Chain A
């Protein structure tokens, strides 16, 4: 080191690295976020199931983060823009950890960037609600309320997953998702219980989201991944109750919407599922933008 007193940590990036001197120019370009974590899979845990769960939850997070990032320069107020960007950043971080874990257990040895930048729409396993374009800030609020409520309910249980890495990622995500859900709930109250116009737009957003709700609620990860069904106590979160996440999500949505003077419209669920790679026409253009530079210059480094 030339200068021990220099506190600018970014300078250290210009110095030599253990892992070679150049970085891939796109994406994170950094070391795997699970660097140095014990990555073995415990006995009795099916690595393919862990991989499937990590992929689906990673894809939900990456696609949601991309939609949230698209609010930059377009949000109603600077504070909301910053908030949405921060929520997206949390989700991007969750996606990185989940992809890294996926690459360790699916046998491919792929890194996080391979999942984000080199797969086509049909290979993505996110729910379709995550990929729909934002039509209005009210839509952004309702979608975030649904997805963060479901993800928080799920992560609270995955924190007990038999796979220790998935469990740690979920436990870490819980505190972040609690902020996301709070943000969406606060806005749902403010808009639903606001002016005639804001109320109308919340109702329109709920009508748009409602047909996709069932797909989100159906999308429970395989139970073998979860340790909770083998848990000692008899309460719902330890019994492997397949419906617990669904019930908690609907309960939270009910509380928020009723306080906001809104209802969840009863509409038939849209057939198909993003969890099986069946997507709307909106995912491919989103990915084309997200992946364009990485695909154009696959070997570029800096």
Chain B
């Protein structure tokens, strides 16, 4: 007798899929995996939310989650895209934040609160302080708001002199 793979297994398999751009994080760490459920006909339905509108990795994520679920014995797999509510860096788990720091990437601070309506303009205000992920010093400066991927900015630590990346609050 063949035992059908369980929902628990499906959740574990989907949760362990690494993010293509931050491969030290899983899709669960990142908060991109919204939901995994089993439909009545046995289809595994996994819901993903894109980080950025232009995230070029979204198609890869979908393909990879589906491939891994099929590899784990789930014959019918459906991947859904969820846009609402939009992804925010606040969804990165505590484990994900710890992992980022271990890999020399400063995790994001709290995301700006978003309510519908005008976004206030802030000119020349000091940016949020970002601690150096290597030495912990707060004596750091932003060198570029944008980096190799849309989700990160470039920083430099004045104490240990090392450059580092920071996942931007979104």
Would you call A168 and B20 a contact (CB within 8 A)?
A: no
Give the dominant DSSP class at B's interface: loop
**A-B interface contact total, Cβ < 8 Å:** 160
Would you call B55 and A93 a contact (CB within 8 A)?
A: yes
Q: A residues 231-265 with Cβ under 8 Å of B?
A: 237, 248, 252, 255-256, 259
Measured in the bound complex, the distance between the Cα atoms of B18 and A168 in whole Å is 26
Residue B53 is within 8 A (CB to CB) of chain A in the complex: yes
Measured in the bound complex, the distance between the Cα atoms of B114 and A159 in whole Å is 11
Q: Which of B4-12, B57-65, B92-100, B128-136 contacts A (4 or more CB under 8 A)?
A: B57-65
Chain A proximity of B114: nearest CB distance (Å): 6
Would you call B79 and A172 a contact (CB within 8 A)?
A: no
- Chain A interface residue count, Cβ-Cβ cutoff 8 angstroms: 64
Would you call A36 and B81 a contact (CB within 8 A)?
A: yes
List 22 A-B pairs, Cβ < 8 Å: A1-B71, A9-B20, A9-B60, A9-B61, A33-B50, A33-B81, A35-B62, A35-B79, A36-B80, A37-B80, A82-B146, A90-B53, A93-B52, A157-B117, A169-B53, A171-B83, A174-B119, A175-B86, A175-B111, A175-B114, A178-B119, A256-B123
Q: What are the 9 tightest A-B residue pairs by CB atom distance, in nearest-first order? A: A93-B54, A1-B71, A36-B80, A93-B53, A168-B83, A30-B59, A79-B144, A83-B146, A168-B84
New contact pairs (8) apart from A164-B84, A175-B88, A183-B146, CB-CB < 8 Å: A12-B64, A36-B78, A36-B80, A37-B80, A83-B144, A92-B54, A157-B117, A237-B116
